[in-house]
Amino acid sequence: MAERGRGWARAVRGLLLDVSGVLYDSGAGGGVPIAGSVEAVRRIKASGLKLQLCTNETQATRQSFVRKLRALGFDISVAQVTAPAPAACRLLRERGLRPHLLVHHDLVPEFAEIDKTNPNCVVLGDAAENFTYANLNEAFRLLIGMEKPVLLSLGKGRYYKETDGLKLDVGAYMKALEYACDIQAEVVGKPSKRFFESALAELGVPAEQAIMIGDDIVNDVGGAQQCGMRALQVRTGKYRPSDENHPEVKPDAYVNNLAEAVDIILQEL
């Protein structure tokens, strides 16, 4: 059960939910919902609480991602998903950047309207099987040859969970390019404060009236707390018991799963 003392559940108007590890575990065939999560989302929506998914998903466009969630039973619209690729496109336009993309092939359509000729930056996403030596080396050569190299990373997660086990995430490859090029990447996605602020704006609720629920102690919980939100860690997805001894980040509460969090929050409404 969740820890005693439920002050964290009071005066809530909206919820930000991580997706992978909270709603479902990704994997072959689209993955599988985590027990109770489909019903938990239905209860959130029926309660009148505002709901926004805040995800670092970069293996699919938002449209195809939502189709997958709906196939798993989740009643979610594209407008309810805050994801890194659209945020990166806004940033690229604002700064006149032309990206070389090292991303999953299913994500490429998100950048269809972005000028990619003569690249002056690299955009890195969770490219999965596209993380070959040749592709990483091409990104390295482009960056090392730039007078002012710009590396935009769509997240900085270390790993995530699929149905067949843990998988390396984009952060591991981001660190490799940072080290090789002696640069620091700009993160577009969690735990970026700007990204959480965008999610809150789309949620339409101030930080002090929102709760973030995620399975990543640093990117979900720590990032949300730095924006003034309360944040819960679920004991599903990539959660590891060692997370509860993290030296810097302490969630407002631990819950066994999303369904338990929703039970407690709805009791306080």
Q: Indicate the residue type of 107.
A: L
Q: Give the end-to-end CA distance of the chain in Å, rounded to a whole number.
A: 19
* Distance from C-alpha of 8 to C-alpha of 187, rounded to nearest angstrom: 29
Q: What is the pLDDT of residue 5?
A: 58
Structure tokens at 249: 């980040």
* Distance from C-alpha of 152 to C-alpha of 109, rounded to nearest angstrom: 17
* Distance from C-alpha of 143 to C-alpha of 147, rounded to nearest angstrom: 9
Full set of structural domains in the chain with CATH:
85-187 (3.40.50.1000)
* Distance from C-alpha of 269 to C-alpha of 139, rounded to nearest angstrom: 50
Residue 20, Cβ neighbours under 10 Å: how many?
A: 25
The tens place of each residue's pLDDT in the chain, 269 residues long, gives 455 457 899 999 999 999 999 999 988 888 999 999 999 999 999 999 999 999 999 999 999 999 999 999 999 999 999 999 999 999 999 999 999 999 999 999 999 999 999 999 999 999 999 999 999 999 999 999 999 999 999 999 999 999 999 999 999 999 999 999 999 999 999 999 999 999 999 999 999 999 999 999 999 999 999 999 999 999 999 999 999 999 999 999 999 999 999 999 999 98
Nearest Cα neighbor of 107 from 201, 161, 188 is: 188
Contact of 174 with 153, CB cutoff 8 Å: yes
3-state secondary structure 213-230: EECCHHHHHHHHHHCCCE
Contact of 127 with 155, CB cutoff 8 Å: no
* Distance from C-alpha of 252 to C-alpha of 5, rounded to nearest angstrom: 10
Q: What is the pLDDT of residue 1?
A: 47
Cα 81 to the chain's mean position, in Å?
Answer: 10
Question: E strands of the chain, at which residues?
Answer: 14-17, 24-25, 32-33, 50-54, 81-82, 99-102, 121-124, 151-153, 159-162, 165-168, 186-187, 210-214, 230-234, 253-255
Q: What is the pLDDT of residue 3?
A: 52
Report the relative pairing of strands 159-162 and 81-82 from DSSP bridges: unpaired
Handedness of CA 233, 238, 241, 242 (dihedral sign): negative
Cα 49 to the chain's mean position, in Å?
Answer: 21
